Chains A and B, each alone.
Chain A
């Protein structure tokens, strides 16, 4: 029964977290610009066009691509913001963080709208400059934000796992007391190790939370989340060892 519950939980986790990773919709049909880029290249190499005609045609294509990119970026921002708002937590720190992130998404959408308003008046050089500044802004501001949403989604989901492990240790404690297993040296040592490893995992989990709250670089936060999960995984190895030791003492 628990297997089914955890399979369901795992499937739910996948369903909740995976969309965040694919929110950068590089392959979403309306975010494909290969055809327009090919047209741009063809225009630039078309010797039949006069200089002015070529400039006009190129500028038109460039503006179309820029408008399409901004629409695509706004769509991505909406989708990722929806993923952010789907995160459910009773932790006031996390809810405050969600509020801050929502503000950043609103800033992003405003930025895109402002840039979109500039497109009509652009010349050829202006369109190139806008492309450069837009790219830098996305890399500097938007990608870190989406990665932070991904990290927050993962961290929030992990809290169920940490609670489950904590409950498990409480139950084990009760079992050891009830069956007077603490007198056995092996079991006592493994039990102490389980307690120590769970405390370590919990502390690392809090470090990852601190990363999120201070908007640390997303790679650092992701790394700390992974380290906390590795420590939690080690705790379960201890539980398995404890289970084996108890099995030897109480043959079933």
Chain B
């Protein structure tokens, strides 16, 4: 057998035409078609792009704004001994103490009024022609003071 002679025969070998046609169809069908720009696709792309930009801006703002995750993760912040919260609660107590002082002083005044004779407001006693407007802006007497004057 002449080996070279046999090898030269290969040049003349052709594939089966049916196989060629089937293979070509298979190869061509696997190539992706050009994307169609449907409204839905445009919307999805817009949302994706918008989300990416928003996230980037938020991260940028947090970084530039001095945000620190440690502040929120700090066990001291999470604990019951946060000074800011304690201060707020203590201030509410201080306000109540001031209000109690006012109430105490009012009660003391009422008790003292019983013991002391009422002072007659000078303006009321000496201004017979006082007008309504003047009367409402002048030093006024309490009910007890007026009753004290009526009792005389």
Residue positions of A touching B, CB distance < 8 A: 2-3, 5-7, 9-10, 13-14, 17-18, 20-21, 24, 26-27, 29, 31-35, 37-39, 41-42, 62, 65-66, 69, 72-73, 127-129, 131-132, 134-136, 138-140, 143-144, 147, 150-151, 154, 157-158, 161, 164-165, 168, 171-172, 174-175, 179, 217-219, 222-223, 225-226, 229-230, 232-233, 236-237, 239-240, 242-243, 246-247, 250, 252
Shortest distance between the CB of B150 and any CB in chain A (Å): 4
Inter-subunit contact B143/A26 (CB<8 Å):
yes
Inter-subunit contact B135/A32 (CB<8 Å):
yes
Nearest neighbor of A247 in chain B, beta-carbon distance:
B76
> Could you list 15 further interchain pairs (A-B, Cβ under 8 angstroms) beyond the known A13-B92, A168-B86, A240-B86?
A6-B88, A6-B92, A24-B143, A33-B140, A38-B124, A65-B150, A171-B79, A219-B104, A222-B103, A225-B103, A226-B101, A226-B104, A229-B100, A247-B76, A250-B75
Shortest distance between the CB of B101 and any CB in chain A (Å): 7
Query: Could you tell me the distance between the alpha carbons of A80 and B75 in the complex, rounded to whole angstroms?
Result: 48
Q: How many A-B residue pairs have CB under 8 A?
A: 207
Inter-subunit contact A69/B146 (CB<8 Å):
yes
A31, A37, A135, A150: the one contacting B106 at CB < 8 Å is A150
A24, A72, A73, A246: the one contacting B81 at CB < 8 Å is A246
Residue positions of B touching A, CB distance < 8 A: 74-76, 79-97, 99-104, 106-108, 110-111, 113-114, 121, 123-132, 135-136, 138-144, 146-152
Shortest distance between the CB of B144 and any CB in chain A (Å): 5
Residues of A within 8 A of B95 (CB): 10, 13-14
B103, B113, B149: the one contacting A139 at CB < 8 Å is B113
Inter-subunit contact B96/A158 (CB<8 Å):
yes
Inter-subunit contact A172/B128 (CB<8 Å):
no
